[in-house]
Structure formats: structure tokens, C-alpha cells
Structure 1
Amino acid sequence: MPQFFMNKRLIILLVSIIILVALIGFSLKERDQLSWPEQFIKDTTGWVQSAVSRPTHYVAGFFENLQDLQNTYTENKELKKRLDELARLESEVQMLKKDNKELKEILGKKDSLSEFEPKQATVIGRNPDRWNELLTINKGTKDGIVSDMAVITANGLIGKVKSAQPFTSTVQLLSSMDPTNRISAEIQGKEESYFGLIEGYDKDKGLLMLKRIPAEAKVEKGQNVISSGKGGVFPKNLPIGKVVEVAPAEYGLTQTAYIKPGANFYDIEHVMVVKRSALKPELEDMMDDKGEEL
């Protein structure tokens, strides 16, 4: 009996192999239509693959989208940083261009003031409560700065040194309402010049007031106003501004001219402090009674 079952199993195995080989050969043949077992297996396999692949693709796509979102966030953050840096650089470029222009203008003005002794300085402080009155510069007595020196920009006179410390100085602007802040000025006419004093500042109009002009003086709009040098403090011919309006003063004995400053009192960065050259005595004052040079 055992030998019979062994032979039977061997026969079944051989028949199974033959059938399998036949099926393989049959499936490898080119056919227009698959058999129903093959169709059933293929459909079942496809359904299982579809059921497994959809969640897999969904999960993979979810994590891929998260990665893309993370990359986008990082790129956006980097771009914002670059935009901030670009804005800062543009601001610095504008500031450097402005400083460069002002310094070039001041250098040109320095050449034109060769008969004086100009010293370049930079504004380092300004009180918001006294914006139109005082400012602080970075030069002081160590640099030869003393009180009452004229202070100008490339566009004109802005004020005088009110006080000087070793390393800094306080400048009083022409727009200061201090009643003692007076500057002798000259209106350049076509045929003759007229003199007066800069006294006060009209904040509403943004104009300097040149007072004590003779009533008969023919002052016209657009005439240039310069320092007269007659005050004994400021050099002569420092530009101040232009006449924009003339009105009779109180009692009609004198006139007041409203002057548009050449310099912008609101925006001041670079200035020059101008020292008046020593007055040279006349030659005859240097001779004694015998005609000999002293």
C-alpha cells in the first residue's frame, strides 16, 4: 500500500507539471482574447493594485506637497530677506548720492571762498523742539572754530556759530526767532545796492525778513541778497537768498523785504564754517609821518 501511494503522488506531480507547462505555453501564445481564468486573475490583480496604489500615491503626494510647501516657505523667506537687503542698499545708495552731491557742491563753494578760511563740518545733532533754531556740528575749538563764525551750505548762508566746545559747536540758524540774531545784508540792485538787517523769520511763509530798508529804496522781486560784511563779523558776499515780496514797515519809514533762503533749513547735512580773513590795513596806515614803512 505505501508503495502504491508513493507512485500515485508521483503520477499526480508529473501530470500537474505537464498541465502547468501546457498552460504556460498556452498563455505565451499571441491571442486576441484571454481566457476567462486569465481575465479573472488579471482583473483581480488590477483591482488589488489600484486599491493599494491610490492610497500610496495619495500619501506620497501629500508628503511631496508638504515638502514643496516647505521649500516655498524657505524660498519666500529668503526672497523677503533679499528684498529687505535691497531696500536697505537702495536707501544707502540714495544717501551716498545725496552726500556726494552735497560734498561736491561744498568743494566747489570752498574754491570760490578761497579768500576766506572755510572748514567743512557735518551736522551730528538737532533738537526737534528747536528744529528751526539750533543744530550741532562735529567741529569745535580744536579745529579753530569760535563763536560768531558764519556757517554756510553750498546754496547759501544758514547761520552762525553760537557757541563752540572743544570737539563740537552749536550753530544758530537764520530762522531762529532770537531777537539778537541779526545779520547785516545787502540787496544787489541793477544800479545800486540797498542795505538792511535780517531780523526774524516768517514760519508760515518760510521766508526771512530783511528789515530797515530805506523807504525810497527800489527793491524788486528776484533780486539777490548777500551778506554785506558791514557787521564786522561775517565775510562779504555770502549768498543768502532772493527777494520774493516787499512791504512797507510800521509807520512807513522803512521797508521790509521777505527773502526766500537759498539753503534748505529743514534738510542740512554738510556745512562749512567760514572764518573772516583778517582785515589788511591800508598802505598809508602802515607808513609813519616821514613816509617810511612801519
Structure 2
Amino acid sequence: MNKRLIILLVSIIILVALIGFSIRSRDQLTWPEQFIKDTTGWVQTLVSRPAHYVAGFIDNVRDLQNTYEENKELKSKVQNLAMLEAEVQGLQKEKDELSAVLKEKKSLSDYEPMNATVFRRNSDRWNELLTINKGSRNGVKKNMAVMTSSGLIGKIKSVSSGTATVQLLSSEDPTNRISAVIQGDKKKKLSTVFGLVVDYDKESKQLIMQWTEEQEPKKVKVEKGQFVTTSGMGGVFPKGLLIGKVVKVEPVEDGLTKKAYIEPAAQFYYIEHVMIVKTPGQQVEEEDGL
């Protein structure tokens, strides 16, 4: 018992000495402490680097997904912005004209949109015709304008009870003409020019608008980027539907006519949903000139 008591006392003394030694202020660590600390640090580094890499990779993937969604949303907003900008220019000019005529009650730019879905396209005439799920029983009539959220795409060519055929602006039909106007800007000294969209260039995928010298104001100035909209002068299409933007202007060979190449606001290849444009009280004539 004496030996056990002595061993216990010695052990307590040694333990107290070690505790006191470990808690005292020291400038340097002992080699066992250094070894344990270095080993622990190396293991932590070895584990943390792959973990940080994986976490960073996951964050990058999430950022890419967010960027894709934001880019998609921005593209949609840019398309809508172009339509709004063209509409604002047209409405401003219309406001100036209407202010001088107080008895004017209705505007040529007033229209009622009717939503429809494309359910058939002929592969042989993909760039010319498409069929939608609205017809005469829905109030659809021949020569009504048809557009997407981006801009004008064509007109109603024929109508049955429950369906209608749309003739696209990219059609090769020479009678498929649209009365249009290149919108001017007084601040930028850009002239307003009236004319007809008469053709579609398949190579450049651009519409062609023509006008004569008689339709051209003096010292006309048409530049790239000017908006082109329907003029409302054809008696069928309402005024102010966005067609596209001017890309370039050049004279025609006869010397009496000029033409502008127009980048369409809407694309004609992939179309799923459309809007049929109906002016209140509109009586659509069975004619080709618009």
C-alpha cells in the first residue's frame, strides 16, 4: 500500500508539472507539439484543397446557369424594347398630328390582337406559308395582319371555319406587298419616307423596301438603324406595326427609285405562337395591295 501511495503521489506531481509546463508562456513549441501541429496542418490542407475545388466548381456551374437564364431574359427584353421604341416614335408623331385635329377620335394604330397557335407548316413552302388554329368563326378575315411579340410576320392569305393560312413576308409572291414607312427623327435630322415592302432577299434574309423620288422628301436622309413600321395607308394593316430596321440604302438601276434593305424584327423560321391583328370596325377588303 505504501508503494502504491508513493507511485500515485509521484504521478500527481509529474502531471501537475506537465500542466504547469504546458500552460506557461513560451516562445517555442516542443518538437512533439511542432510535429503534431505540422502533421495536422498538412492533413487539413490535403483535404481542404479538393473540397474547395469541388465547391468552387459547383458555384461556377450555378453561376453559368444563372447567366444563361439572365441572358435569355435580357434577349426577350431587348426584343420588346425595340418594339416599344418604334411604337413610342410612332405615337409621338401621331400625338403631334392629332393635337391639330381635335375632332379625331380613333387612331389608325388602334387594334385588337387575337392569339393563335401554329399547328402546321409545309416543308416545301416553309418560308412562305403556315397554318394557325383560328378561322372565320373566330372573326379572322383575309388580309388581316399577323405578328409575333417581336414584330410583323405576314398576313392572312385564306380562311376556313376553324383555321387560317398565313402568308409570310419571306414569301416569293410578288403581290405580297406592305405599305410601310421609315420613321424619321427631327433631332437627328432623319427623314420620314413612305414606300412599299416589295421583296425578300433569301441570301441576306432581309426585306426590301422601295420608294420613288415623288415619295421622297427633299434632301432625304435615311440611315442604318431607322425603324420601319406599317404606314396604315394601305387600308388594311393598322399603323405602327414594327417591321424591322434599315440596314442599308441604295439606288435602283432605273435611277428613279431607291430601295432599303431591312433586317426583320421577327424571325420567320421558328414560329409557334402568333397574334392576328384586327382594327376595331375593320372591313378587310379582298385585295392584295396593303
Per the normalisation by structure 1, the TM-score is 0.56
CA contact (8 A) 2:172 2:199 kept: yes
What fraction of aligned residue pairs are identical, expressed as a percent?
57
The structure 2 residue matched to 1:126, chosen from 114, 121, 130, is 121
CA contact (8 A) 2:179 2:196 kept: yes
Could you tell me how far apart the structure 2 residues matched to 1:127 and 1:237 are? 30
CA contact (8 A) 2:179 2:197 kept: yes
Encode CA deviations 1:234-285: one digit per residue, 9 max, x unaligned.
0000000000011101211111000000001111111000012337xxxxxx
Offset, 1:190: 1.3
The structure 1 residue matched to 2:133, chosen from 114, 134, 138, is 138
Per the normalisation by structure 2, the TM-score is 0.56
Q: May I ask how many residue pairs the two structures share in their alignment?
A: 177
Could you tell me how far apart the structure 2 residues matched to 1:212 and 1:246 are? 11
Could you tell me how far apart the structure 2 residues matched to 1:161 and 1:198 are? 17
The structure 2 residue matched to 1:164, chosen from 134, 159, 166, is 159
CA contact (8 A) 1:183 1:198 kept: yes
What stretches of structure 2 of length at least 5 have no aligned partner?
A: 1-68, 88-107, 283-290
Describe the shift of the 1:274–1:244 C-alpha distance in structure 2 as closer, same or farther (beyond 3 A).
same
What stretches of structure 1 of length at least 5 have no aligned partner?
A: 1-93, 280-294
CA contact (8 A) 2:129 2:167 kept: yes
The aligned runs of 1:35-74 (5 Å cut-off) are none
What is the letter of the counterpart of residue 114 of structure 2?
Answer: K
2:252 is matched with: 249
What is the letter of the counterpart of residue 179 of structure 1?
Answer: P
**RMSD, aligned CA:** 2.7
The structure 1 residue matched to 2:270, chosen from 258, 263, 267, is 267
The aligned runs of 1:129-208 (5 Å cut-off) are 129-191=124-186, 192-208=191-207
Greater helix fraction, Structure 1 or Structure 2: 1
Could you tell me how far apart the structure 2 residues matched to 1:135 and 1:219 are? 33
- Which structure has the larger Rg over C-alpha atoms? 1
2:102 is matched with: none
- Higher relative contact order structure (alpha carbons within 8 Å, sequence separation ≥ 6): 2
Give the 4+ runs in structure 1 shifted more than 4 A.
none
